[in-house]
Chain A
Amino acid sequence: MKIIIAGCGKIGVSVLASLAQEGHDVTAIDDDSSVISELTNVYDVMGVCGNAVDCDTLMEAGAADCGMFVAMTDSDELNMLSCFLAGKMGAQNTIARIRNPEYNDSSLGFMRQHLELSMAINPELRAANELYNILKFPSALKIETFSRRNLEMIEFKLSDESDLVGKTLIDIRKKYDAKFLICCVQRDDDVFIPSGNFTLQAGDKIGLTASQAEMQKLLKMLNSLRRQAKNILILGGSKTAYYLAKMCEASGSTVKIIEQDEARCLELTSLLPSATIIHGNGAEQELLMEEGLASCDAFVALTGMDEENILLSVFANMQNVPKTVVKINRDELVWLARKIGIESVVSPREITSNILVQYARALENSSGSAAVETLYKLFDGKAEALEFIVKTESKLTGVMLKDISLKPNILIGGIMRGRKTIIPSGVDMILPGDRVIVISSGNRLNDISDILK
């Protein structure tokens, strides 16, 4: 599909990289010629240097016949305008990054409708959502919800004393009377889709699916349930911090935000009347201790500097804060942070590019018999969970799962039938109309029939 990306800042480039990787024909627009020449050097994309609201530039980039137009410039208004123009020229789908909280309330629907946007994307809000999910289940490193929250997948790391260590998956299944499935395991840098006789080890990171209702019960059984973080310290008063604080307050937690800029502090006090806003430099350990770092339930580092975020969470870990979460924007630092023991990482960039990759795949496959509905990247993109809606009868439907031969490294992680969530075993089957979650590593799936051998 032809895709145009206008605005190649940090998020723009990461979106561009993942879309080009997916095999789309990507054209980048940016007004900085050095950015364009750098991009065309590294990625197999075409670059157009110019203003994304200038019709000539849009024409040159081929807006008239592109399948997807993504506006990712710094300015919300520019994004809206260039999407609108591209749409009028003939771009089939337009996506704008709109992150100003003022636009992200009730007015968003109206704007979207009248600017004819296919999607408005707010990376900060999405990041805040993910952060909130993690704080809700502090034992998990990451939580994905599938299919309108009916099915959840949590990622967590097995500690030395975990009951699961040293057992095969068959044993685990026999021992616990709960409906769940261990879908993927990361050991060091390799990701496996485990079979029944796979033995878990301490230090493995596992991804586990269960219905939302079962998840609490299950975690209790595994002795790894920790209560929701109630007392949260946020470093940096960015937009993400604002969205996160709002969500946490709504669920009854208390929030303290440390921000360097005085004007921003004042702004935040009026936006978040019940939160405690501290004006000061969060990099000072003295200040952190004074503001009760040692006694908080969770520490969230959200400053604009990845390095600062990483270092301060190392400090928080040393103070035995039960849960630290870090925002890291640069992919290469995520890996480094893991190496020094920081496990919960949220990257707005990654979240945004995943959403767009998934959107592009869904667009491409909307004609197939069972299209990719949504796509989730697991374990830093080493595995994927895909949600399909099975529309018609096929070779897959009406056959017991144990009789279907799947490609290696593929697993069916869940089936949603109406309001019922099925954690599948060998005797279950897929019926037309089901939503199916497929977990895969190393395969590129476009249609559910691709999972067959």
Chain B
Amino acid sequence: MNRKMVFHICGQMLLIEAALMVLPLITALIYGESCALAILATIGIAIVLGAAIMLASRPDDTVIYSREGFVITALTWVEFSAVGALPFVLAGEIPSYIDAFFETVSGFTTTGASILRNVEVMSKGLLFWRSFTHWVGGMGILVLVMAVLPMTTDRSIHIMRAEMPGPIIGKLVPRVRQTAKILYIIYIALTLVEIILLLCGGMNLFEASVHAFGTAGTGGFGVKSDSITSYSPFIQWVMTAFMMIFAVNFNLYYLILIKRFKAAFSSDELWAYLGIVVTSVLLVSVNIAPLYATVEETVRKAAFQVLSIISTSGFATADFNLWPQFSKSILFALMLLGGCAGSTGGGLKVSRAIMLFKSGRRELKKMLHPRSVSAVRFEGKTVDDKTISSVGVYFAFFAAIQLLAFILISFEPFDFETKITSVVACFNNVGPGLGAVGPSGSYADYSAFSKLVLSVAMLFGRLEIYPVIFLLSPSVWFKKR
């Protein structure tokens, strides 16, 4: 393993983080808040630390392979969270470092799970930073860097693969860098459109950008304790629409941009995703109809909650904890499913679910007709057995790690529902779960150990398991004797 190169890039990343913190710094200065000092100090720490690491590890050899790609990705996310947590501690607004770390991991991984009981007392600069981490983490930290800076290695596809969600990574154009640029341009454009629409809905620029960041990254941090409930129906509909948009594979938007509509609209994953959304909204609407006065309100609440959960954002316009069990079960299933591959959403991903379903069907058919030959088809192409088996293996890890995390936090004094949904909501980057961690609750009452477990679970979920496993496995770091 090329350790020097790994650390060199990680050092570079800290400088990038320092640059990213300039935006919240400006916000804090505009509002004249004292947290500006904390942010400024963190920028200083990041620069010194990053430069020191870079100088200490000048690589002789810039070649990296997939293992370095995985480790660089995982390390970057950990260090981003570790340093990103500092402003909350330094400003004294979240006194415990573990709590601040949890909050920042939750931000970067676009989870939106919070340990804050009352968001409204936080200063605006820090709230901005908290939501901005969603935006950065949504499309990927390293993808951003690839788009902006010339990478020191031409094998950066390994890094991109480790960071982008989904079973198969399709490049849009031949160069990784170009691909990263296109993705970010689409991302920025959609975010800007949402900010403008939210401004039209009567939010101020601060609120509009914070909520747009939250939706774009499918994160879920807001600025009010009741999330979106007190905003106007127009704003709720805009956010519903954008949560839907950001949970779709971005490659499709590129295909639409270059006018290949047929290719874009023939995507199996897109139709499956839309099908699931519509069905869930209908079922939930019928189920919760007795609770609300008008049809519009019922559908609005149902649609907002369904999209908030399937896109793994975690905003709320209703306390779905109080909904009937059937609706809660549907939402719980959607938490596990998540958005489309290549989107900013978390979860298992619709494409993996389709492949699992189809290969399951094929297995059943094989049992009845042992000599039958059939292939799994997805997006108009035959999926090779290697991909199928890797999806199967991913699913096994997906289940095993959530189970493990559940066992680790099982001694906490909460009910079963709270604990299982905490793990699922964190691992799948949703944010709020059910029970005590529902939309109106928070993760504040968990012990420090459980908060760390849940933070790691969020990283596992966002980076799709493997990078974090490799980061933690000694055989990757040390030569075997």
Contacts and interface: CB of A to CB of B under 8 A. Distances in A.
Interface of A: 2, 20-21, 25-27, 33, 40-46, 49
Given A25-B178, A33-B384, A44 B154 contact: yes
Given A44-B176, A46-B174, 4 more contacts: A2-B174, A44-B155, A44-B156, A46-B171
Residue picked from A42, A44, A45, most chain B C-beta under 10 Å: A44
B348 interface: no
A27 B170 CA distance: 13
Contacts of B384: 33
B198 interface: no
25 contacts: A2-B174, A20-B154, A21-B154, A25-B173, A25-B174, A25-B175, A25-B178, A26-B174, A27-B174, A33-B384, A40-B157, A40-B171, A41-B66, A41-B157, A41-B158, A42-B155, A43-B154, A44-B154, A44-B155, A44-B156, A44-B157, A44-B175, A46-B173, A46-B174, A49-B381
A98 B75 CA distance: 50
A33 B155 CA distance: 20
Contacts of B174: 2, 20, 25-27, 44-46
Interface of B: 66, 154-158, 171, 173-176, 178, 381, 384
Contacts of B176: 44
A26 B384 CA distance: 24
B81 to A, nearest CB: 29
Contacts of B154: 20-21, 43-44
Contacts of A26: 174
A322 B175 CA distance: 48
A45 B171 CA distance: 9
Contacts of B155: 42, 44
A424 to B, nearest CB: 37
Nearest to A45: B174
B379 to A, nearest CB: 12
B342 to A, nearest CB: 15
A442 to B, nearest CB: 16
A29 to B, nearest CB: 12
A45 B172 CA distance: 10
Contacts of B173: 25, 46
A43 B158 CA distance: 10
A313 B158 CA distance: 41
A46 B178 CA distance: 11
The secondary structure that dominates the A interface is: mixed
Contacts of B171: 40, 46
A267 B73 CA distance: 58
A14 B173 CA distance: 20
Contacts of A27: 174
Nearest to A28: B174
A19 to B, nearest CB: 10
Nearest to A46: B174
Contacts of A25: 173-175, 178
A25 B174 CA distance: 5
A21 B174 CA distance: 13
Contacts of B66: 41
Nearest to B258: A62
Contacts of A44: 154-157, 174-176
Contacts of A46: 171, 173-174
Nearest to A60: B263
Contacts of A43: 154
Nearest to B151: A44
Contacts of B156: 44
B157 to A, nearest CB: 6
Contacts of A45: 174
A26 B154 CA distance: 13
A40 B178 CA distance: 15
A43 B171 CA distance: 12
B385 to A, nearest CB: 11
Contacts of A42: 155
A383 to B, nearest CB: 22
B28 to A, nearest CB: 40
Nearest to B171: A46
Nearest to A2: B174
A21 to B, nearest CB: 8
Residue picked from B66, B156, B158, B171, most chain A C-beta under 10 Å: B171
A67 B157 CA distance: 24
Contacts of B158: 41
A26 B66 CA distance: 21
Contacts of B157: 40-41, 44
A385 to B, nearest CB: 25
Contacts of A40: 157, 171
Nearest to B168: A37
Contacts of B178: 25
A441 B173 CA distance: 31
A133 to B, nearest CB: 34
A44 B161 CA distance: 12
Nearest to B154: A44
B466 to A, nearest CB: 15
A4 B381 CA distance: 21
A402 to B, nearest CB: 37
Nearest to A49: B381
Nearest to B169: A40
A394 to B, nearest CB: 30
Nearest to B381: A49
B247 to A, nearest CB: 25
Contacts of A21: 154
A50 to B, nearest CB: 9
B151 to A, nearest CB: 10
A59 B157 CA distance: 24
Listed from nearest, the 7 A-B pairs whose CB atoms lie closest are A25-B174, A46-B174, A46-B171, A45-B174, A44-B154, A26-B174, A27-B174
A2 B173 CA distance: 10
A33 B176 CA distance: 20
B143 to A, nearest CB: 15
A51 to B, nearest CB: 13
Contacts of B175: 25, 44
A41 B173 CA distance: 15
A33 B385 CA distance: 12
Contacts of A2: 174
A128 B41 CA distance: 68
A33 B383 CA distance: 10
Contacts of A20: 154, 174
Nearest to B177: A44
A42 B171 CA distance: 14
Nearest to A23: B175
Nearest to B176: A44
A42 B381 CA distance: 23
B145 to A, nearest CB: 16
Nearest to A59: B260
A48 B157 CA distance: 16
A175 B175 CA distance: 53
Residue picked from B175, B381, B384, most chain A C-beta under 10 Å: B175
A45 B176 CA distance: 8
Contacts of A41: 66, 157-158
A21 B175 CA distance: 11
A2 B178 CA distance: 13
A111 to B, nearest CB: 30
A20 B154 CA distance: 10
B469 to A, nearest CB: 20
A241 B178 CA distance: 44
A27 B179 CA distance: 13
Contacts of A49: 381
A2 B174 CA distance: 9
B176 to A, nearest CB: 5
Nearest to A27: B174
A310 B384 CA distance: 39
B417 to A, nearest CB: 43
A54 to B, nearest CB: 13
A46 B254 CA distance: 15
B262 to A, nearest CB: 11
A58 B175 CA distance: 18
B70 to A, nearest CB: 13
